[in-house]
């Protein structure tokens, strides 16, 4: 049992907002049980106004009324329990922008029971009509309650339909059926076992269209909020009512609440712990909405106050253990490649087969990645399942803090890979990181790119550079996953250290080298050495082992689709201020770059590939 759920939500990024009506409208009596509803770009909320003030003696009940802990304090000239409804539009900060008392005079008849008016009206829009739906008990002398649908136009009730229950015409009080927002005229009449009913408002009947087996032992769950679609599921808030007697044998009640989550076939997947909103005993929730990545929950407190609770969906997802955005789990090798710097003239090695001009034409931002920002990003990654590869669009050790970044990510449990030319690498950097196991699946390891005799890669070959390569040679057996490559025959300056090296097949970097060749004469001369594929404009996705999750981080925090995207055509978002799982693409997403990449595949062929 959570005694103060509101406090918990606030501590996790939420906020609480009182919903106030002027006392000239309420005459000082209670407002309660608001119902929030997002109507297009408007935030609507019904606030129930009652013509009494509830006195409820809570806690140790030291100051009870002589008739019990609960008493209704009415105006002397009106001792009925009367409800009016005020339809409000809220501002974006959830203050009240407009309010209007609903005019029900067209359909009102002389009430014959002491509870008067439509109680706990939930606001919904079904088939383009705005409705209030709640219980009315003033039409029969015994107080029989039935759910009603009231159509509202311009703050007037223009039509009223009373709904008979599906199975038991003698049922005394039908209330708190929960309207299903995305299914017009459907309600969950009972939560567990789940009974879904469909209403025919034209003849006032209803029929049960789903009756599911019960889930667990919690079967006395009563309706509260709307039922809303949420991340391929449906969710709501229900209430439980503990009717108990105090030590003077006087009747009392305590309301608590729970979230319930169904799959789309109405199988209950989760029922939360019970909670009290603000540690009160009389609380009631009538509304739930999703708005701007947050849940809005509207509830009343002790029949005397109305509140809106704003709750980040991220926190709700944590409570409900919803992990719908962990798309990276389609591959065992989700990877972020780190571009630690983009110098004003690009990577100093300036390999002919690297589209540096293409990159410089479009990148005009932070030149050097800040260590602190990198650390913050690593701390916020959803899990250490993400492999961190230091390569990206330039030589990683051009940034003096790269070894520290490697060490930090490693210590946080991430798998690490490094692709370096050795330019900018210092012996102390190697000593810092040589203990790391760099060998983790495809495109992994600690790969040293050596200069070639044709100077396709133009390493600045200095005495210090050669010493670093010599040093690596002395300890290469200590580096797990160590390997070497070159773009041609190894350059004579380091041939005494590594006489030969693997020469990879060159591709056009998803077409980027075609444009690069036009502005780089040295590449134009050797363009027959790289291959290119064009899928003829077909919609393609990625067939790499890492799938769409080998993205490249830029020094300014932007995350680009992959190591082919030198033209930065597909920026997914920015990891300095967005969450990884919020910006990565869904599996099978197609990108234009993939249509000219050797790793592209049509989505329909992917599972068979």
Which residues of this protein are in contact with ligand SF4, per CB under 6 A? 347, 349-351, 354, 356, 393-395, 421, 457, 510, 542, 544, 548, 561-562, 564, 591, 593-594, 597, 599-600
What is the Cα–Cα distance from 323 to 316, expressed in whole angstroms?
Answer: 11
Q: How far is the CB of 315 from ligand SF4 (least distance, A)?
A: 32
Contact 470, 497 (CB under 8 A): yes
User: 84 or 508, CB closer to ligand SF4?
Assistant: 508
Other CB atoms within a 10 A radius of the CB of residue 215 amount to 19
Q: Pick the closest to residue 471 from 418, 430, 417, 421 (CA basis).
A: 430
User: 544 or 575, CB closer to ligand SF4?
Assistant: 544
561-564 — which CB contacts under 8 Å span 24+ positions? 561/585, 561/591, 561/593, 562/593, 563/337, 563/391, 563/392, 563/393, 564/509, 564/510, 564/512, 564/593, 564/597
Q: Which residue has the tokens 């773009």?
A: 487
Q: How far is the CB of 560 from ligand SF4 (least distance, A)?
A: 9
Q: 573: burial class by Cβ within 10 Å (0-12, 13-18, 19+)?
A: middle
User: 192 or 394, CB closer to ligand SF4?
Assistant: 394
User: 111 or 483, CB closer to ligand SF4?
Assistant: 483
Q: How far is the CB of 572 from ligand SF4 (least distance, A)?
A: 11
User: Could you give the strand order of the β-sheet that contains 294-301, starting from the edge strand earlier in sequence?
Assistant: 15-19, 305-312, 294-301, 283-291
Q: How far is the CB of 594 from ligand SF4 (least distance, A)?
A: 3
What Rg, from alpha-carbon coordinates, does the chain have? Answer: 33
Contact 132, 85 (CB under 8 A): yes
The DSSP-derived string for 354-417 is S-HHHHHHH--S-SB--HHHHHHHHHHSS-TTSEEEE-TTS-GGGSTTHHHHHHHHHHTT--EE
User: 523 or 562, CB closer to ligand SF4?
Assistant: 562
Q: Pick the closest to residue 228 from 36, 34, 86, 42 (CA basis).
A: 36
What is the Cα–Cα distance from 229 to 276, expressed in whole angstroms?
Answer: 24
Q: How far is the CB of 540 from ligand SF4 (least distance, A)?
A: 6
User: 280 or 355, CB closer to ligand SF4?
Assistant: 355
Q: How far is the CB of 513 from ligand SF4 (least distance, A)?
A: 11
Q: Which two tokens stand for residue 555?
A: 């020094």
Q: Which residue has the tokens 């082919």?
A: 564
User: 301 or 591, CB closer to ligand SF4?
Assistant: 591
Q: How far is the CB of 350 from ligand SF4 (least distance, A)?
A: 5
Give the single-character DSSP code of 370: -
User: 308 or 349, CB closer to ligand SF4?
Assistant: 349
3-class DSSP state for residue 325?
coil
β-bridge mates for residue 437, sequence order: 480
User: 261 or 472, CB closer to ligand SF4?
Assistant: 472
Q: 528: burial class by Cβ within 10 Å (0-12, 13-18, 19+)?
A: exposed
Q: How far is the CB of 323 from ligand SF4 (least distance, A)?
A: 23
Residue 427 has phi, psi (to 5 degrees) of: -55, -40
What is the Cα–Cα distance from 96 to 243, expressed in whole angstroms?
Answer: 35
User: 306 or 593, CB closer to ligand SF4?
Assistant: 593
User: 38 or 514, CB closer to ligand SF4?
Assistant: 514
Q: How far is the CB of 384 from ligand SF4 (least distance, A)?
A: 23
Q: How far is the CB of 460 from ligand SF4 (least distance, A)?
A: 11
What is the Cα–Cα distance from 530 to 553, expressed in whole angstroms?
Answer: 26
Q: How far is the CB of 531 from ligand SF4 (least distance, A)?
A: 14
Half-sphere exposure of 465 (CA within 13 A, CB side): 19
User: 50 or 542, CB closer to ligand SF4?
Assistant: 542
**What distances in angstroms separate CA 318 from CA 3, 12, 231, 381, 554, one per listed residue?**
19, 11, 13, 15, 29
Pairing of strands 446-450, 416-420: parallel
Q: How far is the CB of 499 from ligand SF4 (least distance, A)?
A: 21
Phi-psi region at 219: left, alpha or beta (left = phi > 0; alpha = psi -120 to 50): alpha
Q: How far is the CB of 487 from ligand SF4 (least distance, A)?
A: 8
User: 440 or 449, CB closer to ligand SF4?
Assistant: 449
């Amino acid at each position: 049992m959570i005694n103060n759920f509101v406090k918990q939500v606030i501590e996790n990024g939420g906020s609480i907002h009182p919903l106030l009506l002027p006392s000239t409208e309420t005459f000082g009596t209670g407002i309660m049980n608001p119902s929030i509803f997002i109507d297009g770009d408007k935030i609507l909320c019904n606030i129930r106004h009652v013509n009494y003030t509830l006195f409820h003696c809570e806690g140790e009940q030291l100051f009870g009324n002589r008739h019990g802990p609960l008493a209704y304090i009415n105006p002397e000239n009106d001792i009925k329990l009367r409800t009016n409804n005020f339809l409000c539009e809220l501002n974006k900060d959830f203050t009240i922008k407009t309010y209007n008392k609903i005019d029900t005079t067209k359909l009102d008849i002389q009430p014959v029971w002491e509870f008067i008016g439509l109680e706990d009206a939930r606001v919904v829009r079904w088939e383009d009509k705005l409705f209030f739906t709640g219980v009315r008990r003033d039409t029969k002398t015994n107080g029989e309650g039935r759910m009603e649908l009231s159509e509202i136009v311009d703050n007037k009730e223009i039509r009223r339909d009373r709904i008979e229950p599906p199975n038991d015409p003698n049922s005394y009080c039908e209330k708190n059926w929960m309207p299903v927002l995305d299914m017009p005229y459907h309600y969950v009449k009972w939560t567990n076992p789940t009974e879904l009913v469909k209403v025919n408002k034209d003849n006032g009947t209803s029929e049960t269209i789903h009756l599911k087996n019960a889930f667990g032992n919690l079967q006395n769950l009563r309706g509260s909020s709307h039922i809303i679609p949420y991340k391929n599921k449906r969710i709501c808030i229900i209430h439980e009512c503990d009717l108990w007697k105090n030590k003077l044998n006087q009747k009392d009640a305590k309301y608590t609440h729970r979230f319930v989550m169904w799959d789309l076939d109405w199988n209950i997947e989760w029922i939360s712990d019970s909670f009290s909103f603000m540690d009160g005993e009389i609380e009631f929730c009538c509304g739930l909405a999703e708005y701007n990545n947050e849940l809005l929950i509207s509830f009343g407190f002790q029949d005397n106050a109305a509140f809106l609770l704003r709750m980040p969906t991220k926190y709700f997802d944590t409570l409900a253990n919803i992990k719908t955005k962990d798309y990276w789990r389609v591959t065992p090798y989700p990877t972020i490649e780190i571009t630690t710097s983009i110098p004003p003239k690009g990577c100093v090695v300036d390999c002919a087969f690297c589209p540096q001009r293409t990159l410089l034409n479009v990148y005009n931002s932070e030149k050097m990645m800040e260590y602190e920002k990198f650390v913050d990003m690593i701390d916020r990654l959803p899990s250490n399942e993400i492999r961190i590869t230091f390569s990206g669009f330039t030589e990683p050790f051009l940034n003096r803090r790269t070894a520290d970044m490697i060490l930090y990510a490693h210590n946080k449990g991430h798998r690490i890979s490094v692709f370096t030319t050795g330019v900018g690498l210092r012996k102390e950097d190697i000593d810092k990181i040589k203990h790391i196991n760099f060998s983790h699946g495809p495109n992994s390891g600690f790969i040293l790119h050596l200069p070639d005799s044709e100077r396709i890669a133009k390493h600045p070959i200095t005495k210090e550079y050669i010493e670093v390569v010599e040093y690596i040679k002395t300890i290469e057996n200590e580096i797990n996953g160590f390997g070497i490559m070159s773009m041609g025959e190894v350059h004579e300056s380091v041939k005494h250290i590594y006489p030969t090296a693997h020469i990879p097949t060159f591709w056009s970097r998803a077409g980027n080298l075609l444009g690069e060749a036009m502005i780089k004469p040295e590449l134009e001369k050797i363009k027959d050495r790289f291959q290119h594929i064009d899928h003829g404009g077909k919609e393609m996705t990625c067939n790499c082992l890492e799938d769409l999750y080998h993205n490249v981080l830029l020094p300014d925090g932007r995350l680009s689709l992959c190591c082919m995207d030198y033209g930065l055509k597909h920026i997914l978002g920015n990891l300095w201020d967005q969450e990884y799982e919020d910006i990565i693409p869904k599996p099978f997403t197609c990108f234009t770059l993939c249509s000219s990449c050797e790793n592209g595949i049509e989505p329909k062929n992917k599972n068979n590939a």
